[in-house]
Amino acid sequence: MERVTRTVNNVTDYMEKDNRGMQITCYSLALFGLTVALRRVRPFSRFRKPSDIPNHFIKEKRQLEGCVKGIHPNGVLIIEHKPLVPLPLIPSGELPVKISGVNVIGFGTNWLQSIVAGQDVTFIPISKEKDYVQCQVLLMQTVRDKKKQTKRALINVGESLIKIGFALPEPIRKPLSEDSTFLKYYALLINAEKYAQRKQMGLKYYIIPTKRILSKSLERLIALFHITKAKVPKMIHKAPKVYGS
């Protein structure tokens, strides 16, 4: 009986020790998995410069959130990135973001200042440059549907700029020219340009007609001046002479 009791106790002790080992192993694996997940998701990170954004964020077209704090004269947005889990101890920073595939022209910068500055935006990194991140930028706006009912919807800032004639699509190079997701976005920009051309939107459609009108007006003034100049001597000759007393 004592031998049986001793055997049972030995088995119990072994199972308890083995269970502790299993628990430690499970905890270690869970901690490792959590570390990998946090490193991949970066829930606490605030991106301040292009190199801060992980490459897999660009590959996965990860959506980021932020507030537009300013607009540079060349149309680059200065965005304060908002992490998934904001921590007060981590200082905020300003990330330079260029609207990908878009060349801002004319009053485009003024439009961005009026409509986009100070607003919360969603931006999707497409590629990293030395001075900025190229992104697709989305803005929540109140729009009207086909039934003329108002609703809140995300608008594509690059597409909107081109549609009203304040920007032009830029030529694309590799590797973006081989990225199927980017090509779908770029197709939106091309269609927006066609819409602007069809509706004759943009600064050039106001400047060119104005130049033509001014040019024709100037030609008429010059012609009128020459006609008047030719008639003045005749008018002087025909004028009655006034003699003093």
Per-residue pLDDT tens over the stretch 87-140: 677 677 899 999 999 999 989 999 999 999 999 999 999 999 999 999 999 999
Give domain status of residue 206, yes or no.
no
Residues 55 and 2 in one domain: no
Residues 69 and 180 in one domain: yes
For the residues 29-42, what does the mean pLDDT come to? 42
For the residues 40-62, what does the mean pLDDT come to? 82
Exposure class string for 43-65: b at 16+ Cβ within 10 A, else e:
eebbbbebebbbeebbeeeeebe
Give domain status of residue 218, yes or no.
no
* Average pLDDT score over the chain: 78
Residues 36 and 69 in one domain: no
Check residue 16 and give its pLDDT. Answer: 57
Give the amino acid at 72.
Answer: H
Check residue 231 and give its pLDDT. Answer: 66
Residues 194 and 151 in one domain: yes
Q: What angle do CA 163, 98, 178 make, to 5 degrees?
A: 80
Give domain status of residue 88, yes or no.
yes
Residues 63 and 169 in one domain: yes
Backbone phi and psi for residue 34, each to the nearest 5 degrees, phi listed first: -65, -40
Give domain status of residue 239, yes or no.
no
Both tokens of 218, joined, read: 């100037």
For residue 37, give its domain range: 1-41
- Where is average pLDDT lowest: 6-10, 149-153, 208-212, 220-224? 208-212
The structural domain count of the chain equals 2
Q: Is residue 186 classed exposed, middle or buried when 0-12, 13-18 and 19+ CB atoms within 10 A define those classes? A: buried
Residues 120 and 30 in one domain: no
Give domain status of residue 224, yes or no.
no
Residues 61 and 7 in one domain: no
Give domain status of residue 180, yes or no.
yes
C-alpha dihedral, 237 to 239 to 240 to 245, nearest 10°: -90
**Does position 28 have pLDDT exceeding 60, yes or no?**
no
Residues 36 and 79 in one domain: no
DSSP code, position 121 = E
Residues 162 and 81 in one domain: yes
Residue 129 maps to which CATH number? 2.40.50.90
Residues 119 and 20 in one domain: no
Are the C-beta atoms of 133 and 98 separated by less than 8 Å?
A: yes
Residues 69 and 31 in one domain: no
- The bridge status of strand 64-71 relative to strand 77-82 is antiparallel
Residues 76 and 180 in one domain: yes
Position 219 confidence tier, pLDDT thresholds 50, 70, 90: confident
Give domain status of residue 144, yes or no.
yes
Both tokens of 68, joined, read: 């537009």
Give domain status of residue 233, yes or no.
no
**Does position 239 have pLDDT exceeding 70, yes or no?**
no
